[in-house]
Homo-oligomer: A and B are copies of this chain.
Amino acid sequence: MDKINSINNSNNFKNMKIAIVGLGVIGGSYGLGLKKIKCSEVFGVDIDTDTIKKAKEMGIIKDGATNGKEILGDIDLIILAIYPKLVVNFIKDNIDNFKKNVIITDVTGIKMPIIKDVEILLKDLGDIDFIFGHPMAGREKKGIDFASDEVFKGANYIITPTARNKLQNIKIIEDLAYSLGFKRVNKISPEFHDEMIGYTSQLTHALAVALINSDIEGRDTGKFIGDSFRDLTRIAKINEDLWSELFLENKENLLYSIKKFEEELNKIKSSLEKNDDGQLKELFKQSTVGRERLEKN
Residue ranges of A at the interface with B (Cβ–Cβ < 8 Å): 136-138, 155-156, 158, 184, 186, 188, 193, 196-197, 199-201, 203-216, 219-241, 243-245, 247-248, 251, 254-255, 257-258, 260-265, 267-269, 271-273, 275, 277, 280-281, 283-288, 290-297
Contacts and interface: CB of A to CB of B under 8 A. Distances in A.
Contacts of A184: 223
Contact of A214 (B235, B255, B263, B269): B263
Copies of this chain held together in the complex = 2
A contacts with B: majority SS? helix
A138 B283 CA distance: 21
A232 B208 contact: yes
28 contacts: A137-B227, A155-B226, A156-B224, A156-B226, A186-B224, A193-B224, A196-B224, A200-B226, A201-B225, A207-B207, A209-B284, A209-B287, A212-B286, A213-B283, A213-B286, A213-B287, A214-B264, A216-B260, A220-B297, A228-B234, A233-B291, A236-B287, A239-B284, A240-B281, A244-B277, A248-B275, A254-B272, A262-B265
Contacts of A244: 277, 280-281, 284
